[in-house]
Amino acid sequence: MENDAHLKLQAFVDGELPEAEARVVASQLARDADAAALIAEMKFTRHALAGHEKAVRVPESRDFYWSKIRRQIEASEVERPAPVAIPWHAKLRRFLAPATAVAVVAIAGLLATQPVGVVGGTETSLSDSGAFTYRDFSSGTTLVWLSYPAEETLDDED
């Protein structure tokens, strides 16, 4: 038997069901032996426990306690503040700050991939290497002069 059926039978024993539902449960008891046995056990348990429960009188009425609980719930509910309107320049700044950072990173990446040491049409890799490179972009030619230490010593002997 399901839990809901057990609860409905308990409500029947306690007299908490409306008349229409009580008639349906009573007709079900005539057909279902398990339900009838459970009802008999619930009634026996109720009879066995009757008189052993200490009667407690509450000085205030039930309505007073429920109103007290309702007041506590209402007091504990915190009012949410109204949303603050964000000015347009703050919204623009929220967009521009990350966009500027992305632009700076992109420019740094482009500059990092460019060849180093190209000035006009000449390029030198080291200041004292003795090599000189000339590029003519219009004709697509490159001319490299290399000076060797042996050439310098020959020039000195002459």
Tens-digit pLDDT profile for residues 80-106: 778 888 888 888 888 888 999 999 999
Token pair 């008999």 is found at 40
Under the banding of pLDDT at 50, 70 and 90, the label for residue 127 is low
Does this model's pTM top 0.85? My answer is no
Residue 142 lies in a domain: yes
Check whether 116 has a pLDDT greater than 80.
Answer: no
Residue 84 inside a domain? The answer is: no
Q: Confirm whether 146 is domain-assigned.
A: yes
On whether residue 8 sits in a domain, the answer given is yes
Compute the distance between CA of residue 38 and CA of residue 25 in angstroms, rounded to an integer.
13
Find out whether 22 and 8 touch, Cβ atoms under 8 Å: no
Would 127 be classed as within a structural domain?
yes
Domain of 144?
Answer: 118-157
* Among the ranges given (40-44, 100-104, 112-116), the one the predictor scored with the smallest mean pLDDT: 112-116
Residue with tokens 């949410």: 80
Could you give the number of structural domains in the chain?
2
